[in-house]
Structure 1
Amino acid sequence: MKDINVLVIDDDVDICGLLQRFLERNGMKVETTFSGNSGVKLLERKKFDVVLTDFRLPDLSGIELIKRLKATRVSSEIIVVTGYSDVRKAIESIRVGAFEYVTKPIQPDEILEIIKAAFDKSESRSSTADLPTTETKVPQVKPKKSSKTYLTPNSAYAKDLDTNISMVAPTDFSVIILGETGTGKEVAAKSIHERSKRSNKPFVAVDCGALPKELSGSELFGHIKGAFTGAISDKTGSFEAANGGTLFLDEIGNLSYDNQIKLLRVLQERKIRKIGGTKEIEVDVRVIAATNEDLEECIHKEDGFREDLYFRLNEFKIKLLPLRNRKSDIHSFANFFLEEANETLGKEIKGFSDKVEEKFEKYYWYGNLRELRNVVRRSALLTTGEFIELDALPQEIVHPSQLGYFEDVAEVSDEITDLKSITEDAERKAIESVLVKTNYNKTRTAEILKIDRKTLYNKMASYGIDV
């Protein structure tokens, strides 16, 4: 393996020094800088395989830094370092393009493992890209792994989900997958692809939320040399790269209105035209779209989601429940992730203590399966015995908020008869309770509930909470 070039961004000089010495002792080339803006400038001049950045910088947040780097087409993989109080924001950073996040205190084995995984991804992309590193990269075909990458627990919901995937997979139906961040939308899409007649063809995943708006058309449909400033050679777009296989469009709601029109035309005519080009190229691609938004609601907003595109994509719909609504599946997923961690870390941990399993069932799981996987992996790293105990868990799980998001169902109104109503009733009660405790300070309420003010206002309006 060649040297891994790492850029560390942290305003704490001591942390930068410690990380630089540790990573250099492990054969890496490391440079450090102390602000987000200086990091952006350095990355514009020099190529790094991996960027390791603190989430809280004096001039930019982790989210802002990632968006800046994506907008300037930096090809480095980004790892965000965060405290447990910022886990939800760290999960958001993955949504906008980060490779992974790690929590403080940093564990040596964990950070080495993640940096090497990020480097492998960066190398894979660079070796197959058809443009210089200053260009937006062609979405990479993700090879099908020989080992099973998904799990079907024994709950009725999980079995129904697996049945739906099995039914739609052999068809050419377009599919919309709905679910919160971290619920496994891409895993479900891969499962559909792997059970389809296209399984030996490419699976190309594109995160529409991480695409710079001005380059999303080029990313999807490609461009020819000279089509715009910076187009120094022809580019193969996602549709052409996925020809014969499956194109997974994550966070489809982030596509601009113009690109929605182009996407609809491609779905109807099965032809693409590169930006700046005149030749039409026939493509045979199955599209699976995913979103954490309510697209039907977005249809009615100005410059929202096109209704005709929604119905064209919505030939089959799959809804993934958040992990907090799948309590009976948590144990199965935790054991699956533990097997994965044992293999990666070379350990033989047998399972979880009863107290740990109890904490897992009570926790809210803001980041869903992705958060559970990260917690299990980190806990396995810290465990020296046969079972994972409470002292290996993050404090936010051992001592969760006392808000009681999901109270005992017996306390919920008798008029409620379905899971959605139970969830909404519990959420409404939590918001009202915190508003009272904060003397109706909406900023403080949003902080305690770990949502932004806009989301709080929307939920208050939805539930008819009038302050």
Structure 2
Amino acid sequence: MSKNILIIEDDITFSRMLQAWFVKKEFKVRAAAKASEARKRIKEEIPDVVVCDLRLPQEDGLSILAWIKTNYPKIVVIMMTGYADIQSAVSAIKLGAYDYVSKPFNPDQLFQKINEALEIEDEWEEGGANIVQAKKTAQKGDFVQGTSEEYVKLYEYVDLVSPTQLAVLIKGENGVGKEHIARLIHDKSDVKSGPFVAVDCGVLSKDLAASDLFGHVKGAFTGALSDKTGFFVSANKGTIFLDEIGNLPIDVQMQLLRALQEKKVKPVGSEKEIKVDVRVVSATNEDIEFAVDNGYFRADLFHRICEFVLEIPALRDSKEDIPHFLEHFLKKANKTLKKKVLGFTPEALEILLNYEWPGNIRELKNVVNRMTLIETGKYITKESIPSHFKTKREQTEDEIIHEQEEKQRIKDALRLADYNILRAAAILSIDTKKLYAKIKQYNISYE
């Protein structure tokens, strides 16, 4: 039976090319040039696959993606764009896209991704409960649960807080699996049957953040050619995950606080309020208390989002879990890459255990994939490990001088600003987030 595909693309020439190509591959193909037309096509006949452009004339592709995943979660969605930036890719995948391709691309590349997605879907349908569970695990980012004391305590707290209505703040460095924990909270909560909408606040445009979160009405601003549903409404009766919440502009923080307090949102340009019932889980890799103390994160919003705090340990602080993680991701890499690597030599394992893992579990997974791919023997040896794992590069004299000068400039700016972070950042012509990172890097006292 042929699969049904919907192509959402406003470039008519490119759309017709894709349509013709997929017809030759025996797909049943339909097309739409704008979001409203796409919604109509989907309601008329639910497709197996949607290939959607990120930039559409009336509404962006992320908005239609969120709508599809809220109303038709089984549809496989692949995003495409001529604007190849990783931030858009991350946002699309967090909202539930299967994958992401950048124009120009070979149709064979897109066809391969679609076949992979449909093959997995077919296996899930045929495999019963065990395969369905595997699907859920895969969608959560393939993270594996640690067994160290820190992780055991973390998952105990997840079990405790999930059934409650408390707003949860997840703290942890990049790559530790904050979204994995947020999804786990959702799956163990009373709203698990509702949508899970992940929002990367770090990639929201300062000017359009309110529109993305709360929606807008047609004509609200230049370019608002139609009504838009915000993330909060898309997450109604479910969970919204606000990743990197510390990056929200102050004025949007105020609107978010009101939405959380009153359980209502007002789309930009509208006088009408919309009731929303949403479980809020937030995350940050910053010292958000520092942001509160220095005036660029609202104290009242902070207390609203952190009714319960979860801290995910960095991988370097739970090194006893590293062999367990290595084994887990090696099994997955073997399956994905069709390899049969059995394990790690003692020398390789020692190097991997002694590494600091600044990118945490995400970095570990990527490194295991790389080592598995290039290894020709039965075991991963130290020769397959990236060279920077084995040696620490010495700083050059110029680098040392640059750091000393930069540290002194930051100290001088802080003194001139009477240790006000906002004013010091303005003096240095950098944003407060970068200034805080430098203060932490150089261990500068700011009190």
Same fold (TM over 0.5): yes
Any residues of structure 2 matched to 1:369-388 within 5 Å, and which? 369-388=361-380
* Contact 1:99 1:118 (C-alpha < 8 Å) held by counterparts: no
Q: 1:231-289 deviations in whole A, cap 9, x for unaligned? A: 11111110011111110001000001111011011111111111111221111110110
Any residues of structure 2 matched to 1:112-151 within 5 Å, and which? 145-147=135-137, 149-151=142-144
Any residues of structure 2 matched to 1:40-439 within 5 Å, and which? 75=81, 78=84, 145-147=135-137, 149-302=142-295, 304-397=296-389, 399-401=390-392
Structure 1 Cα separation of the partners of residues 320 and 372 of structure 2: 22
Q: Quickly say closer, same or farther: Cα 1:95–1:183, change in 2 above 3 A.
A: farther
**What is aligned with 2:442?**
460
Deviation of 1:350 after TM superposition, in Å, equals 2.1
Q: Quickly say closer, same or farther: Cα 1:439–1:293, change in 2 above 3 A.
A: closer
3-state SS in 1 of match to 2:286: coil
* Contact 1:209 1:250 (C-alpha < 8 Å) held by counterparts: yes
Q: 1:408-446 deviations in whole A, cap 9, x for unaligned? A: xxxxxxxxxxxxxxxxxxxxxxxxxx7999765426999
Structure 2 Cα separation of the partners of residues 272 and 116 of structure 1: 38
Structure 2 Cα separation of the partners of residues 163 and 337 of structure 1: 24
Structure 1 Cα separation of the partners of residues 243 and 373 of structure 2: 31
Deviation of 1:192 after TM superposition, in Å, equals 0.9
* Contact 1:95 1:209 (C-alpha < 8 Å) held by counterparts: no
Deviation of 1:385 after TM superposition, in Å, equals 2.9
Q: Quickly say closer, same or farther: Cα 1:349–1:319, change in 2 above 3 A.
A: same
* Contact 1:177 1:291 (C-alpha < 8 Å) held by counterparts: yes
Letter in 1 for 2:355: Y
* Contact 2:169 2:310 (C-alpha < 8 Å) held by counterparts: yes
Structure 1 Cα separation of the partners of residues 276 and 359 of structure 2: 36
Letter in 2 for 1:374: N
Q: 1:19-58 deviations in whole A, cap 9, x for unaligned? A: xxxxxxxx9xxxxxxxxxxxxxxx9999xx9xxxxxxxxx
Runs of at least 5 residues in structure 2 that lack an aligned partner in the other structure: 8-24, 26-53, 62-78, 95-104, 119-132, 408-433
Structure 1 Cα separation of the partners of residues 254 and 435 of structure 2: 32
Q: 1:295-315 deviations in whole A, cap 9, x for unaligned? A: 11101224x000000000011
Q: Quickly say closer, same or farther: Cα 1:165–1:44, change in 2 above 3 A.
A: closer
Deviation of 1:376 after TM superposition, in Å, equals 0.7
Letter in 2 for 1:330: I
Letter in 1 for 2:344: F
Q: Quickly say closer, same or farther: Cα 1:456–1:150, change in 2 above 3 A.
A: closer
* Contact 2:151 2:312 (C-alpha < 8 Å) held by counterparts: no
Deviation of 1:77 after TM superposition, in Å, equals 7.6
* Contact 2:91 2:199 (C-alpha < 8 Å) held by counterparts: no
**What is aligned with 2:130?**
none
* Contact 1:95 1:181 (C-alpha < 8 Å) held by counterparts: no
Structure 1 Cα separation of the partners of residues 137 and 203 of structure 2: 28
Moved more, 435-444 or 219-228: 435-444
Deviation of 1:116 after TM superposition, in Å, equals 5.9
Letter in 1 for 2:234: A
Q: Quickly say closer, same or farther: Cα 1:221–1:305, change in 2 above 3 A.
A: same
TM (norm. structure 1) is 0.60
Structure 2 Cα separation of the partners of residues 254 and 195 of structure 1: 28
Q: Quickly say closer, same or farther: Cα 1:331–1:318, change in 2 above 3 A.
A: same
Deviation of 1:145 after TM superposition, in Å, equals 3.0
Letter in 2 for 1:351: G
Letter in 1 for 2:174: T
* Contact 2:170 2:311 (C-alpha < 8 Å) held by counterparts: yes
Letter in 1 for 2:337: L
* Contact 1:257 1:305 (C-alpha < 8 Å) held by counterparts: yes
Q: Quickly say closer, same or farther: Cα 1:195–1:380, change in 2 above 3 A.
A: same
Q: 1:194-225 deviations in whole A, cap 9, x for unaligned? A: 11122221111010001111111111001111
**What is aligned with 1:442?**
403
3-state SS in 2 of match to 1:462: coil
Q: CA RMSD in A?
A: 4.0
Q: Quickly say closer, same or farther: Cα 1:95–1:307, change in 2 above 3 A.
A: farther
Identity rate of aligned residues, in percent?
39
3-state SS in 2 of match to 1:205: strand
TM (norm. structure 2) is 0.63
Structure 1 Cα separation of the partners of residues 145 and 235 of structure 2: 27
3-state SS in 1 of match to 2:241: strand
Structure 1 Cα separation of the partners of residues 334 and 234 of structure 2: 35
* Contact 2:55 2:81 (C-alpha < 8 Å) held by counterparts: no
